[in-house]
Amino acid sequence: MHIPGNPAALFVGSGGWRHGIAYGFLGLPLAFVALPLYVLLPNHYARAFGAPLAALGMVLLLARLFDAVLDPLIGRWCDRLAARSSGALLAVAGGSGLILVGGFGALFFPPLSVVTAGTGAILMWAGVSLVFTYTAYSVVAVAHQAWGARLGGTETQRSRVVAWREGAAVVGVLLAAVLPSVAGLAPTVGVFALLLAVGWVCWARSVSPPLGQTALTNATFSPWGQGPFRRLMAVFLINGIASAIPATLVLFFVQDRLQASPQLEPLFLLTYFACAAMSIPAWTWSVARFGLARSWRAGMLLSVGVFVWAATLGAGDLLPFFVVCALSGFAVGADLTMPSALLAGIVDDCGERGKREGAFFGWWNFAAKLNLALAAGLALPMLAWFGYTPGDRAPEGLVALTFAYCVLPCALKLLAAAALQFAIITPAGRRSLTNEVSQ
């Protein structure tokens, strides 16, 4: 249905949860599928099919780089579809969802002929399947994010739109963390297909944003012509690397620094993600009281305090680390809701709502994937350089691990908070944004 004026206003109020679920539910299956692709797949191919780690790592790296480079182009394509009609965008997303389900199943269950053909065949199968799966995933994700941005609204309304999507995503991560180990991979694929179908139907029945006109010249790179977008992207990249480094190193820290039993590892992760999900209503309340940028800064500073404390932990400090997981999960709730809502506001302020949301969110997703790559590229070589080897608990190695897991993210978070303060929050930053948007 077409809603004139401000569709995002429908997400606020006593009946807002219906619109929130209708739009946000698709975030659950998209997050549900992401965890197996990034966490389970490498281990599965190494153990089940004997794929060499070095060659498998290269296949995964190339597929992810290809996926990241495509995102801005996918965003531009989604803009063209949205300019034609909401139905065209939904139809393409639905078709991409079918490809996503097929690719996901193919990745974990290659044909017997491929398995018996040797390492080269299984790696080729993985690479081709990943390209199709990642591309289909990106089309659905970028289209869904751009749809939410086109709804417009005040800061509080935009944060609620994002909160419904990201809250559902955290639930999807929790489900994906448990289901494969409890039910197995085949039921996991089936559950994902069902959830994705339900998510698409809910999305199709959600509030439709007004149609806009899309200019076709230089549209793919047009977001970089906006100063507010460049400044927000700089903050997002610095903060994203700071958040991705602990995510990359957490199991090393748990196993070697804390010397925890393997049975506790999933409990640490569940605590983290559960607290992230439960924090979203509190961060939404904070936006209504203090605004998006200040609330995001508060989340950054909370994270710094938590990881300063984590740097003091040692072998056997398991209960304190559960508290670290809970508080850092609460802090990451701000990262889940604030940046995308700020980006939606910039799109609106720049007069691009209904025109180029896909281009903006295509580059946004490119940056999010780049964060993960840069985090691994910074942290893992640094650990090796300073003498850390997984399983070796030599004091100098553990010092390097603690520095990489705790201290480096704190430094980057403080840098991101300073950039946010001076580029967006201060009166000079706000005036600069207003002036550039008005030109």
What is the pLDDT averaged over residues 346-372? Answer: 76
What is the pLDDT averaged over residues 291-310? Answer: 94
In the prediction, which pLDDT does 135 show? 93
Res 342 pLDDT > 80: yes
What confidence tens digit (pLDDT) does each residue in 398-422 have? 898 899 899 999 999 999 999 999 8
Confidence of residue 95 (pLDDT cuts 50, 70, 90): very high
The burial of 165, by beta-carbon neighbours within 10 Å (0-12 exposed, 13-18 middle, 19 or more buried), is given as buried
**Range of lowest pLDDT (163-167, 280-284, 323-327):** 163-167
Q: Answer for the pair 22, 202: CB distance below 8 angstroms, yes or no.
A: yes
What is the pLDDT averaged over residues 300-322? Answer: 95
Confidence of residue 436 (pLDDT cuts 50, 70, 90): very low
Q: Tokens 């990201």 label which residue?
A: 166
Res 368 pLDDT > 90: no
In the prediction, which pLDDT does 179 show? 86
Residues linked to residue 2 through DSSP beta bridges, in sequence order = 208
Cα separations in angstroms, 40 against 37, 48, 102, 167:
6, 11, 17, 22
- Specify the CATH number of the domain 16-206: 1.20.1250.20
What is the pLDDT averaged over residues 276-303? Answer: 91
Res 349 pLDDT > 60: yes
Query: In the chain, what is the greatest distance between 2 CA atoms, to the nearest angstrom?
Result: 65
Res 147 pLDDT > 50: yes
| Higher-scoring residue by pLDDT: 382, 90 | 90
Q: How far is Cα 279 from Cα 273, in angstroms, rounded to an integer? A: 10
- Which of 3.40.50.10860, 1.20.1250.20, 3.30.420.40, 3.90.180.10 is the CATH number of 223-439? 1.20.1250.20
What is the pLDDT averaged over residues 171-183? Answer: 84
What confidence tens digit (pLDDT) does each residue in 6-23 have? 676 666 665 677 888 889
In the prediction, which pLDDT does 354 show? 61
Res 434 pLDDT > 70: no
**Range of lowest pLDDT (148-157, 306-315, 328-337):** 148-157
User: What number of residues does the chain have?
Assistant: 439
In the prediction, which pLDDT does 322 show? 96
Residues linked to residue 208 through DSSP beta bridges, in sequence order = 2
| Residue 2 main-chain phi, psi, to 5 deg | -95, 125
Q: Tokens 């139905």 label which residue?
A: 87
The tokens of 8 are what? 């995002």
Q: How far is Cα 115 from Cα 96, in angstroms, rounded to an integer? A: 27
Segments of the chain assigned to CATH 1.20.1250.20: 16-206, 223-439
In the prediction, which pLDDT does 303 show? 96
What confidence tens digit (pLDDT) does each residue in 188-235 have? 999 999 999 999 999 998 887 766 555 444 555 677 777 788 899 899
